[in-house]
């Protein structure tokens, strides 16, 4: 009994015993002090009862402060004073923990029994011998594949037997069990109601009352899988026997003492001995070379015992679980030698003891001859590559594994001991000026399923700048997905230097011509003058260029090249007369600048990503109090916000909703925006060097394309800014943009 402040006025002895308060004074103390484990939900119910409600519960767990669970029932209702006002609460409870634990234990036992029955596909059955009524459990209906409303009888059950002789044998067994009390144990093949063939094991016995049989019961188990396994084992044994008896493969086995006990037809053909000459009489020493046998024994001993075997003369390597494959030289009966690849495996008994060895022998003498021939041709190929400054490469784009030829290592001045090659191995050599070019070419090749040859610069291991020419081919699967690229890489540094002046002159001329054409559009007064004065020298240069391209004579090409000076001088004179009158206008990203409201950009991004936000439950906050507007290219800013917030949602952690904070500030006179999330994070030690690379992904996400960060970095740097990242795996990532 409690007052309106939930203070005890009275308490029964049973209450004290149930809740183990024999050594404490309860009256006068708060109910919530006595039970600090009571939660807010129960406190709310108490307050409702103090307003006139009645709270009754048949059973519920009460989690005590010591970690134990006490099952109780209760009846809580208000009591009234003489004036009819609520004076407090009356609580009646009962401890039903022991009863509840028995119920839970029973349910667990029943669950285990049911699970066992389902896993082993075991059903129970029972025949009432007085009424001949047959009862099945649920599993029997599944085994027989009958409907739930099927009513089984003894005769109907026997009709599922596939063969009549099994049906008759079952009837005899049942009658013998009834007459003599013998047990039934038989395996039969049956056809289910759906026509599926299964094997079933049926066991049963009779129960008698006062010597009179009253009940015949037992189990039925679907043993189809066991039968199928036996059949597979028999088939495997037959196949192994067929392999052993094959003439194309040599198989030799020994017993625990090293005596040959099996010598198949393939071994007879390979070594020239008959099985009668070998089995039970000889050891493998008859066809092995002593030095190779000694090396094998030494290698195996070192493998299992290390250096300690030297001090232990009793060690027997034959007791180890050996599995060794290596090349051996065998000696035939006629004395001739040949090379083999032999796998030697220990044969263990059922007790795990080494009972001998089995050797599978393959004649590789012809393969070695072919390999030697290939090695010679490969040496010639390497020599040819060195003369032409060419190397070849192969790239598995799925596994990102790369193979280089010997001369390609030479071109890049890389040690051949570096064998773990990837695309980034090559890309890291690309000259900084050409990285975007190379990335674009490979992206185009991947999109078009075609490799485009191109030329770019590299910086070798020793810091030497070289120009290389890549030629290759892309291989796609049936789905049109690129899985391999291969080709050649040629060092064209010298030839490129010879043509460099011509290329630069042509490029400069094209740039001048483009600017001049643009200026002509701006100033109509100069159209005719520009057209007249530039057409002739430009046409002259183009003609010289065509002649230069068509000429194969070096002396003639040098003579043509010298004529460029005269033509360019005349063109320069013409341009100088116009340069004071023309105002060059060069369009760039800086011309698209405007005052961008970061709050507006943030809200637009939230609306764009509203579907992803709802699906992921993301919480996104923006804080632009310190810096709310910035002069920038609005299209770029929209893209930056969309990529970084979208990535934070896409790569969210599985066990928590995304939390994303976008904040702007001004530090050291620089405008800064940070994008912070609590997602999967990135292993920067492993992936940091390629974080902003094109087509680089760091998580197994179906939508990951590796373009967003590359585009964001490009846009930030185009406006003269920088972007960096800090990250911790499974904690989150922060991107910082300094404008």
- Tokens found for residue 512: 């001048």
Q: Both 358 and 375 in a single domain?
A: no
> What pLDDT sits at residue 80?
95
**What is the Cα–Cα distance from 374 to 368, expressed in whole angstroms?**
10
Query: Which of the 8 DSSP states describes residue 724?
Result: E
Task: Tell me if 111 is assigned to some domain.
Answer: no
Average pLDDT on 104-113 reads 70
Q: Both 279 and 403 in a single domain?
A: no
Q: Both 522 and 613 in a single domain?
A: no
- Each residue of 256-311: pLDDT tens digit? 888 999 898 889 988 999 989 999 999 999 999 999 988 988 888 888 777 655 54
Q: Both 215 and 284 in a single domain?
A: no
* 67 against 352, higher pLDDT: 67
Which residues, listed in sequence order, are joined to residue 621 by a DSSP beta bridge? Answer: 661
Query: Which CATH number covers residue 696?
Result: 3.30.565.10
Task: Tell me if 107 is assigned to some domain.
Answer: no
- Tokens found for residue 562: 């010298």
Of 126, 121, 62, the residue nearest 94 (C-alpha):
62
Task: Tell me if 116 is assigned to some domain.
Answer: no
> What pLDDT sits at residue 282?
92
- Choosing from 425, 460, 491, the residue where a domain stops is 491
pLDDT winner (highest mean) among 374-378, 477-481, 667-671, 700-704: 667-671
Sign of CA dihedral 346, 348, 353, 355: negative
574 three-class SS: helix
pLDDT winner (highest mean) among 53-57, 388-392, 581-585: 53-57
Q: Both 562 and 602 in a single domain?
A: no
- Tokens found for residue 276: 């009668």
In the Cβ-directed half-sphere of 348, how many Cα atoms lie within 13 Å? 9
Report whether 70 contacts 97 (CB < 8 A): yes
**What is the Cα–Cα distance from 678 to 656, expressed in whole angstroms?**
8
- Tokens found for residue 10: 């009275």
Question: To which residue do tokens 């409870």 refer?
Answer: 93
Task: Please check the confidence at residue 619 and state whether its pLDDT lies above 90.
Answer: yes
| Local confidence band at 388 (pLDDT 50, 70, 90 cut-offs) | low
Query: Which CATH number covers residue 327?
Result: 3.30.450.20
507 three-class SS: helix
Task: Tell me if 319 is assigned to some domain.
Answer: yes
Q: Both 541 and 476 in a single domain?
A: no
Which residues, listed in sequence order, are joined to residue 393 by a DSSP beta bridge? Answer: 404, 487
Task: Tell me if 91 is assigned to some domain.
Answer: yes
Of 388, 572, 570, 354, the residue nearest 468 (C-alpha):
388
- Tokens found for residue 671: 């405008």
Sign of CA dihedral 284, 286, 287, 291: positive
- Choosing from 227, 259, 275, the residue where a domain stops is 227
- Choosing from 431, 462, 491, the residue where a domain stops is 491
Task: Report the first-to-last Cα separation within the chain, whole angstroms.
Answer: 71
Task: Please check the confidence at residue 75 and state whether its pLDDT lies above 60.
Answer: yes
Task: Tell me if 236 is assigned to some domain.
Answer: no
> What pLDDT sits at residue 591?
59
> What pLDDT sits at residue 524?
45
Q: Both 539 and 594 in a single domain?
A: no
> What pLDDT sits at residue 514?
63
Q: Both 477 and 515 in a single domain?
A: no
- CA 447 to chain centroid: 24
**What is the Cα–Cα distance from 222 to 112, expressed in whole angstroms?**
19
- CA 165 to chain centroid: 55
**What is the Cα–Cα distance from 46 to 76, expressed in whole angstroms?**
8
- CA 482 to chain centroid: 19
Task: Tell me if 112 is assigned to some domain.
Answer: no
Task: Please check the confidence at residue 113 and state whether its pLDDT lies above 70.
Answer: no
Range of the domain at 295: 245-363
Task: Please check the confidence at residue 522 and state whether its pLDDT lies above 50.
Answer: no
Q: Both 63 and 50 in a single domain?
A: yes
Question: Three-state SS across 338-382?
Answer: EEEEEEEEEEECCCCCEEEEEEEEEECHHHHHHHHHHHHHHHHHH
Task: Please check the confidence at residue 68 and state whether its pLDDT lies above 50.
Answer: yes
What percent of the chain is predicted at pLDDT more than 90?
31
**What is the Cα–Cα distance from 534 to 193, expressed in whole angstroms?**
95
- Each residue of 655-704: pLDDT tens digit? 999 999 999 999 999 999 999 999 988 888 887 777 776 555 555 555 55
Task: Tell me if 636 is assigned to some domain.
Answer: yes
- Who's near 609: CB < 8 A, 6+ residues apart? 642, 645, 646, 649
> For the chain, how many structural domains are there in total?
6
Query: Which of the 8 DSSP states describes residue 213?
Result: E
Q: Both 202 and 148 in a single domain?
A: yes
Q: Both 616 and 725 in a single domain?
A: yes
- Tokens found for residue 690: 């390629």
Q: Both 596 and 734 in a single domain?
A: yes
Report whether 93 contacts 74 (CB < 8 A): yes
**What is the Cα–Cα distance from 87 to 4, expressed in whole angstroms?**
6
Name the packing angle between helices 598-608 and 634-650 (round to 10°): 50
DSSP secondary structure, 382-429, as one string: HHHHHHHTEEEEEEETTTTEEEE-HHHHHHHT--TT---B-HHHHHTT
Task: Please check the confidence at residue 348 and state whether its pLDDT lies above 90.
Answer: no
Report whether 538 contacts 513 (CB < 8 A): yes
């Amino acid at each position: 009994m409690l007052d309106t402040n939930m203070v005890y006025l009275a308490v029964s002895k049973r209450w004290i015993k149930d809740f183990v308060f024999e050594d404490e004074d309860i009256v006068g103390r708060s109910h919530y002090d006595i039970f600090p484990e009571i939660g807010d939900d129960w406190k709310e119910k108490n307050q409702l009862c103090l307003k006139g409600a009645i709270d009754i519960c048949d059973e519920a767990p009460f989690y005590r402060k010591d970690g134990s669970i006490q099952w109780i029932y209760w009846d809580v209702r208000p009591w009234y004073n003489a004036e009819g006002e609520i004076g407090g609460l009356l609580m009646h409870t009962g401890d039903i923990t022991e009863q509840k634990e028995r119920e839970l234990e029973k349910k667990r036992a029943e669950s285990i029994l049911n699970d066992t029955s389902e896993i082993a596909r075991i059903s129970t059955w029972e025949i009432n011998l007085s009424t001949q009524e047959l009862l099945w459990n649920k599993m029997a209906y599944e085994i027989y594949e009958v409907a739930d409303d099927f009513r089984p009888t003894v005769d109907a059950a026997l009709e599922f037997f596939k063969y009549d002789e099994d049906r008759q044998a079952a009837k005899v067994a049942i009658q013998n069990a009834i007459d003599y009390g013998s047990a039934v144990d038989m395996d039969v093949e049956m056809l289910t109601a759906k026509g599926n063939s299964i094997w079933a094991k049926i066991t049963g016995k009779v129960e008698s009352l006062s010597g009179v049989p009253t009940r015949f019961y037992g189990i039925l188990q679907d043993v189809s899988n066991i039968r199928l396994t036996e059949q597979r084992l028999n088939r495997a044994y037959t196949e192994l026997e067929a392999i052993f008896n094959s003439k194309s493969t040599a198989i030799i086995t020994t017993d625990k003492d090293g005596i040959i006990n099996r010598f198949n037809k393939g071994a007879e053909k390979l070594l020239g001995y008959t099985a009668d000459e070998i089995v039970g009489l000889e050891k493998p020493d008859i066809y092995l070379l002593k030095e190779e046998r000694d090396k094998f024994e030494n290698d195996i001993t070192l493998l299992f015992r290390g250096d300690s075997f030297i001090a232990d003369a009793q060690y027997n390597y034959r007791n180890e679980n050996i599995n060794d494959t290596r090349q051996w030289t065998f000696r035939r009966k006629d004395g001739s030698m040949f090379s083999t690849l032999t796998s030697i495996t220990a044969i263990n008994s059922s007790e795990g003891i080494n009972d001998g060895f089995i050797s599978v022998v393959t004649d590789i003498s012809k393969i070695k001859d072919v390999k030697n021939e290939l090695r010679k041709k490969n040496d010639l190929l390497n020599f040819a590559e060195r003369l032409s400054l060419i190397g070849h490469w192969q790239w598995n784009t799925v596994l990102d594994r790369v193979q280089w030829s010997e001369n390609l290592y030479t071109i890049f001045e890389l040690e051949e001991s570096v064998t773990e090659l990837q695309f980034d191995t090559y890309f890291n050599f690309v000259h900084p000026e050409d990285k975007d070019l190379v990335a674009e070419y490979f992206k185009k090749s991947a999109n078009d399923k075609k490799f485009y040859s191109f030329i770019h610069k590299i910086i070798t291991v020793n810091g030497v700048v070289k120009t290389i020419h890549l030629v290759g081919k892309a291989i796609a699967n049936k789905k049109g997905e690129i899985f391999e690229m291969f080709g050649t890489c040629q060092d064209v540094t010298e030839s490129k230097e010879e043509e460099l002046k011509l290329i630069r002159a042509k490029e400069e001329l094209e740039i001048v011509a483009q600017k001049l054409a643009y200026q002509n559009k701006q100033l109509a007064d100069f159209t005719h003058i520009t057209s007249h004065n530039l057409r002739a020298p430009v046409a002259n240069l183009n003609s010289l260029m065509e002649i230069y391209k068509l000429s194969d004579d070096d002396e003639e090409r040098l003579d043509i090249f010298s004529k460029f000076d005269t033509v360019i001088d005349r063109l320069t004179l013409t341009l100088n007369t116009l340069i004071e009158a023309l105002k060059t206008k060069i369009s760039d990203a800086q011309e698209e600048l405007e005052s961008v409201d970061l709050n507006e950009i943030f809200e637009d991004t939230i609306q764009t990503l509203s579907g992803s936000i709802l699906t992921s439950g993301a919480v996104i906050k923006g804080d632009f109090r310190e810096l709310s507007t910035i002069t920038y290219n609005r299209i770029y800013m929209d893209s930056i916000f969309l990529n970084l917030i979208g990535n934070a949602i896409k790569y969210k952690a599985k066990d928590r909703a995304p939390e994303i904070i976008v904040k702007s500030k001004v530090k050291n006179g620089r405008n800064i925006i940070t994008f912070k999330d609590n997602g999967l994070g990135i292993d920067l030690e492993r992936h940091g060097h390629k974080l902003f690379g094109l087509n680089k992904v760091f998580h197994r996400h179906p939508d990951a394309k590796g373009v967003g960060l590359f585009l964001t970095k490009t846009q930030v740097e185009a406006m003269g800014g920088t972007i960096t990242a800090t990250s911790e795996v499974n904690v989150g990532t922060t991107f910082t943009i300094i404008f």
